[in-house]
Structure 1
Amino acid sequence: MKQVVVISGAPGTGKTTVRNYLTKEYGMQKVLTHTTRPKRTGEQEGVDYYFETDATFFENHFLEHVEYDGKKYGSSLEGLQKAWQKHDWAVIVLDTAGAISYLQQLPQQTLVLYLTSSQTQQAVRLAQRGDTSALIKQRLASQEAQRDLHLPQQLQGHACVIRNNDWEQTKQALADWLQTTGSSVDQAPEELARPKQSDHEQAAEEKG
């Protein structure tokens, strides 16, 4: 059975790092998302995002979508299927609202990974991304960040919770989790069980 790992958590909990690790070490395929924001220098269609206009955005069948600063972002069934064409296991970073949406629409194929971290670690990670102190405080105090600090009731009993303070411990927790997912892991391709190089991925996500 094809699976999608949805990584969620508050800003600065290391979601992008974990996603990149799963793509590199386990061969999971990143789900590309759609956006109406302008393409930045060096970005490529179908590599970084699927770039849309306001007119074409909703031609896709979205599993979740949001709007930030007048720009739309979303992940579609079409994008997920394209990832599954390359690998039976896909991975995506979403906020908790998006994770709930995936779980509701694809309950048999969605595995939710919820990351937590100390506030100190969160601030350090955000600072390493180049965020100013004022922006860090603003992000951590935002309504979305406060919401994602806690595992929603709809995800309780469905999500694997990992505290991402120590990277070596996190890697071991990920390995243990993948082993305990049972028969679904046994059905994954052989490359899931051994390290595999993947294409270069972006170091940051627009969301979460």
Structure 2
Amino acid sequence: MADKKLIVITGATGSGKTSIRDYLVEKYHAGKIITHTTRKPRGKEQNNVDYYFETDESFAKLHLLEHVKYVTAQYGSSMEGINKAFENHDVAVIVLDTKGAITYARKLKDQAEIWFIKVDDPDTLRQRMQKRGDESQRIEKRLASDEFMRDMHLPDELKNVATVIDNNDWQVAQKQVDNLMTK
């Protein structure tokens, strides 16, 4: 992994983490690190493509680098998933909450490049969640959660580690991503 680039994208729900990951996969041919979850698929999400959809029992058997529980679903990432993304790519990208990003920064040190995606207005995040098809009740639970409040701000543990990307406007964020990828 020494000659590879691992990008960890973090920030609040609806901040555009997945959109930025997809942009990196499409434009820069980054390998997408697939993570595990016990939640049900949304819309057209597919197993082994968007997530590894797990049961509580199968999730408990995984060898995870980090994991977290949000409301009723568990999420986690494994070293196997990272290594699989690096099989055919020099750059791999993963989307994590800030707690997971802190774990990656602590365990992988400078092997992980942390990007914190910032959006100033919680109403913008609500609108983005609605647009992607989240149920209203789920959105309100998520916005009221401690995890959401934590992920709205760059944690102290990442202040000297993370690059902050302003995603209030996609064109501004896209230029910043392009600059980071070509430096």
Give TM-score, length-normalised by structure 1: 0.76
1:136-195, Cα deviation, whole Å (9 max, x unpaired): 443222100100111111101111101101111111111112234xxxxxxxxxxxxxxx
Structure 1 counterpart of 2:168 = 165
Which residue of structure 1 aligns with residue 151 of structure 2? 148
Matched, 1:11 2:7: no
Is 1:128 the equivalent of 2:125?
no
Cα distance in 2 for partners of 1:161, 1:102 equals: 16
Give the structure 2 partner of residue 118 of structure 1. 120
Runs of 5+ unmatched residues, structure 2: none
Q: Distance in 2 between matches of 1:41 and 1:9?
A: 22
What's the counterpart of residue 24 of structure 1?
26
Percent pairwise identity: 47
Aligned to 1:90: 92
For 1:179 and 1:156, the matched residues in 2 are separated by 23
- Segments of structure 1 that go 5 or more residues without pairing to the other structure are 181-208
The number of aligned residues is 180
Cα deviations by residue, 1:100-151 (Å, 9 ceiling, x for unpaired): 1111111121011101113142232122123455544432221001001111
Q: Among residues 81, 87, 108, which one is paired with 2:110 in the alignment?
A: 108
Larger radius of gyration: 1
Tell me: CA distance 1:142–1:108, structure 2 relative to 1, closer, same or farther (3 Å): same
Q: Deviations over 1:31-59 (max 9, x none)?
A: 11123456789765433333445454344
The CA deviation string for residues 186-208 of structure 1, in whole angstroms up to 9 with x for no partner, is: xxxxxxxxxxxxxxxxxxxxxxx
Q: Taking structure 2 as the reference length, what is the TM-score of the superposition?
A: 0.85
